[in-house]
Amino acid sequence: MGIKGLMKLLADNAPSGMKEQKFESYFGRKIAIDASMSIYQFLIVVGRSGTEMLTNEAGETTSHLVGMFSRTIRLLEAGIKPVYVFDGKPPDLKKQELAKRYSRREDATDDLAKATESGNKEDIEKFSKRTVKVTSQHNDDCKKLLRLMGVPAVEVSWKYSHSGSRVSFRWLLLKQRLSVLHFARQKRHVYAVASEDMDSLTFGAPKFLRHLMDPSSKKIPVMEFDISKVLEGLELSMDQFIDLCILCGCDYCDSIRGIGPQTALKLVRQHGSMESILENINKERYQIPDDWPYEEARRLFKEPLVVTDDEQTELKWAAPDEEGLVNFLVKENGFNIDRVTKAIEKIKTAKNKSSQGRLESFFKPVSTSAPVKRKGTKCVLVSPSPVTKFKTLSLRSRPGVLGRLIFPSLELGSNYSMPLFRHFCFGI
Amino acid sequence: MLELRLVQGSLLKKVLESIKDLVNDANFDCSATGFSLQAMDSSHVALVALLLRSEGFEHYRCDRNISMGMNLTNMAKMLKCAGNDDIITIKADDGSDTVTFMFESPTQDKIADFEMKLMDIDSEHLGIPEAEYHAIVRMPSAEFGRICKDLSSIGDTVVISVTKEGVKFSTRGDIGTANIVCRQNTTVDKPEEATVIEMNEPVSLTFALRYLNSFTKASPLSNTVTISLSSELPVVVEYKIAEMGYVRYYLAPKIEEDEEETKP
């Protein structure tokens, strides 16, 4: 998933752009978290074995609540201020897309049934993972839980005037991740974006954290990527970096056979832009696909067509609603009362911790070594000025532009490149 | 080529003791004007700035500006090997990846050389603007140390408020509350025992006692401590080193949720 081989490429060529950080060192930081992706992970991971899920008395799944509750408390205890970003209602899908999506899950359901019959445990595990879906009920439950915990949940929706058949379902799934990233860009006061997907960098999230939501038992340090330092290390501009990612092979556009991350980096450094690479490349050695929508992919990385709901712009971390939490978790969803009251205590003590200020909010770092040019790049990335904002908005409202987003190649046999999303679904 | 000879070797030992708990690794910057350090603690809440001016050294030679990354725990280990009356000389060659500490006993009958490996430290240097502070309190360093220690047995945070009446340190914890008020007091025999309060505006700020306690490790360096407070800035706790420079600590205040700024 994400950009193929980018992680290794960065580790080799731009080690300064990524550093391992202790989970605890993010205290006081506001961090945007992709809620839907987290919920999906919780459904897969928390308390599920085979076809069994954690449920309440009425038989409704509660895995997502358990996961959301405990993970969020962990973040709060570390003094982190999480902002969960949910996506709004997806636009109406074409019927065929819906059908395709259902048939895929039905396949998995059939497979699961077969596996259950034959008693193959591995297969049961595999196929039951694939039948997991996030419904709007799950989303609503989590939103309610977060509200009770006093953690802000923001809904982001995308403007989408084109529902033509060319836009595949996968493309919509991808967009939903973009919404999180874009949210972080618009709301500058979010310090970083937490995601597991490497292409977050390509979307220009200034700081991007991996493994933030991993269970503490795994003891994986958080990996922090700083786009400006990555660019510095690779000696590329942001536009060149986007071209590099497209060449490596991203979710939106296939890669060229024979070009891996290393070659891609060499080519971009040598020629400077995709256009001149395509002009100069040895056409016999490297077969460029006939229909290679690199321009669209590029535009997509630069200007995800997402808008946030402006009414919810204010982020507030309030005190938890104790009574509400007990009602919701214990009475409605069968949580252990002792665990919940203990957790509420934790939230309350954690409040105190997040109020510690950081020196960086008073003193600004003076960089002595960074070249002026790089600093310019950084500025553009970090501060979407009102002017650029206006620009993206105006692009969005131009019908012509949307019509040009052609993504026929999205179906190109890379089904396995993003398993997490294959059966990601929202009840509509 | 770098060669710094400090007759009062114990001073360097004390300096190290005052910063090593707060910072693990740091770059020492040497220039023609002096020997300095700026480092943040790992959580980026506190910062220590050290300056030892060249005039304070018996011999000071620094041909070009260099920055030496050192592990402070290891450096403190080596300096512990120096006697309190020893003369300490810091030496480094250009382009070398080691630094040498030489300890000479006052009678010149023993000379010890300790060579320590340097390290590459990637650290951010913060620009600290000169500022006018709302209130400046000067008091005996031992007194300040005592207050911080006492309060931390009650609570985790301290509210420092300066008014016309004096400076008040207060805390609250599970077992109860504590308030300590120090009034201006200049009628003492020795000037270093005075408590002097200069106030332009009343100010009240909250800090984590854990950090203040580690600042007070610098008390052996100076009899007095200067605490500068402004409502928009981190507190500065300064210990002057006689005729040489200072150790300054900056600590970001705790901020109440509702008045929080929206900057990143």
Q: Supply the DSSP string of B21-68, one letter for each residue.
A: TT-SEEEEEE-SSEEEEEEE-TTSSEEEEEEEEGGGSSEEEESS-EEE
**By the CB < 8 Å criterion, does A358 face chain B?**
yes
**Residue B259 to chain A, least CA–CA distance (Å):** 11
Integer Cα distance of A19 and A35 in angstroms: 24
* B122 is a domain residue: no
**By the CB < 8 Å criterion, does B255 face chain A?**
yes
Cross-chain residue pair A365–B263, CB shorter than 8 Å: no
Full pLDDT tens readout for chain A, 428 residues: 456 677 778 888 888 778 777 777 777 777 878 777 778 778 777 766 655 666 766 667 788 888 888 888 888 888 888 888 776 554 443 444 455 556 666 676 777 777 676 766 666 666 666 666 667 778 888 888 888 888 887 776 554 434 333 334 444 445 555 555 555 555 556 777 777 666 666 666 667 788 777 766 667 778 888 877 888 888 888 888 888 877 776 665 666 777 777 888 888 888 888 878 877 777 777 777 666 667 766 766 666 555 554 444 566 777 788 888 888 888 888 888 888 888 888 888 777 666 778 887 788 877 654 332 222 233 333 333 333 333 333 333 333 333 333 333 333 333 333 333 333 333 33
Name residues whose C-beta falls within 8 Å of residue A323's C-beta, 6 or more positions apart in sequence: none
Asked if B178 and B68 sit in the same domain, the reply is no
* A377 is a domain residue: no
Asked if B112 and B141 sit in the same domain, the reply is no
Q: Which residue has the tokens 């190109």?
A: A412
* A87 is a domain residue: yes
The CA dihedral of A76, A31, A211, A4, to the nearest 10 degrees, is 170
Instruction: Spell out, as residue ranges, where chain B has pLDDT lower than 70.
Output: 256-264
Asked if B89 and B152 sit in the same domain, the reply is no
How many contacts (CB atoms, under 8 Å) link A and B? 74
* B224 is a domain residue: yes
Asked if B100 and B139 sit in the same domain, the reply is no
Set of chain B residues whose Cβ sits within 8 Å of the Cβ of A366: 125-127
* A287 is a domain residue: no
If one counts the domains in chain B, the total is 2
Considering only CB atoms, A188 lies closest to which of B128, B253, B264, namely B264
Q: HSE, CB side, 13 Å, CA atoms: give it for residue A115.
A: 19
Q: Which two tokens stand for residue A174?
A: 């991808």
What per-residue confidence (pLDDT) applies to A86?
75
If one counts the domains in chain A, the total is 1
Distances (CA, A) of A281 to A9, A259, A293, A295, B131: 21, 11, 17, 17, 58
Asked if B113 and B141 sit in the same domain, the reply is no
Q: Which two tokens stand for residue A398?
A: 């131009």
* B263 is a domain residue: no
**By the CB < 8 Å criterion, does A364 face chain B?**
yes
Set of chain B residues whose Cβ sits within 8 Å of the Cβ of A24: 43
What per-residue confidence (pLDDT) applies to A100?
57
Q: What is the CATH number of the domain that holds A349?
A: 3.40.50.1010
* B127 is a domain residue: no
What per-residue confidence (pLDDT) applies to A331?
83
Considering only CB atoms, B257 lies closest to which of A317, A359, A365, namely A317
Q: What per-residue string of b and e applies to B166-176 under the rule 16 or more CB within 10 Å gives b?
A: bbbbbbbeeee
**Sign, CA torsion B200/B202/B206/B210:** positive
Residue B255: name the closest of A414, A305, A28 by CA: A28
Asked if B89 and B183 sit in the same domain, the reply is no
* A30 is a domain residue: yes
Set of chain A residues whose Cβ sits within 8 Å of the Cβ of B43: 24-25, 27, 358
Pick the residue from chain B with its C-alpha nearest to A31.
B264
B59-62 sheet: strands from edge to edge: B59-62, B2-6, B87-92, B98-104, B111-117
Q: Which of residues 171-210 of A touch B (CB under 8 A)?
A: 188-191
What per-residue confidence (pLDDT) applies to B4?
94
Interface ipTM: 0.77
Distances (CA, A) of A3 to A208, A254, A274, A367, B189: 14, 11, 17, 30, 73
**Residue A197 to chain B, least CA–CA distance (Å):** 23
Set of chain B residues whose Cβ sits within 8 Å of the Cβ of A14: none
Q: Which of residues 143-202 of B touch A (CB under 8 A)?
A: 156-157
Cross-chain residue pair B127–A366, CB shorter than 8 Å: yes
* B91 is a domain residue: yes
* B201 is a domain residue: yes
Set of chain A residues whose Cβ sits within 8 Å of the Cβ of B250: 359, 363
Q: What are phi and psi of B208, to 5 degrees?
A: -80, 125
* A296 is a domain residue: no
Asked if B243 and B149 sit in the same domain, the reply is yes
* A348 is a domain residue: yes
**By the CB < 8 Å criterion, does B256 face chain A?**
yes
**By the CB < 8 Å criterion, does B45 face chain A?**
yes
Integer Cα distance of A23 and A4 in angstroms: 26
Asked if B248 and B145 sit in the same domain, the reply is yes
* B262 is a domain residue: no
Pick the residue from chain A with its C-alpha nearest to B124.
A365
What per-residue confidence (pLDDT) applies to A372?
29
DSSP β-bridge partners for residue A224: A19, A209
Cross-chain residue pair A356–B208, CB shorter than 8 Å: yes
Residue A334: name the closest of A73, A47, A65, A110 by CA: A65
Set of chain A residues whose Cβ sits within 8 Å of the Cβ of B124: 365, 367
Q: What is the CATH number of the domain that holds B57?
A: 3.70.10.10
Integer Cα distance of A425 and A176 in angstroms: 11
Q: Is B150 exposed, middle or buried (0-12, 13-18, 19+ CB in 10 A)?
A: middle
**Residue B129 to chain A, least CA–CA distance (Å):** 8
Q: Which of residues 298-317 of A touch B (CB under 8 A)?
A: 317
Q: Which residue has the tokens 């000696």?
A: A235
Count of residues in chain A: 428
* B73 is a domain residue: yes
Q: Which of B117, B147, B162 is the last residue of a domain?
A: B117
Asked if B139 and B217 sit in the same domain, the reply is yes
The parent domain of residue A125 ranges over: 23-220+306-357+390-421
What per-residue confidence (pLDDT) applies to B114?
94
Set of chain A residues whose Cβ sits within 8 Å of the Cβ of B44: 25, 358-360
Best residue in A29, A355, A378 to probe B by mutation, most B CBs within 10 Å?
A355
The parent domain of residue B93 ranges over: 2-117
* A187 is a domain residue: yes
Asked if B110 and B141 sit in the same domain, the reply is no
Pick the residue from chain B with its C-alpha nearest to A319.
B257
* A229 is a domain residue: no
**Residue A16 to chain B, least CA–CA distance (Å):** 9
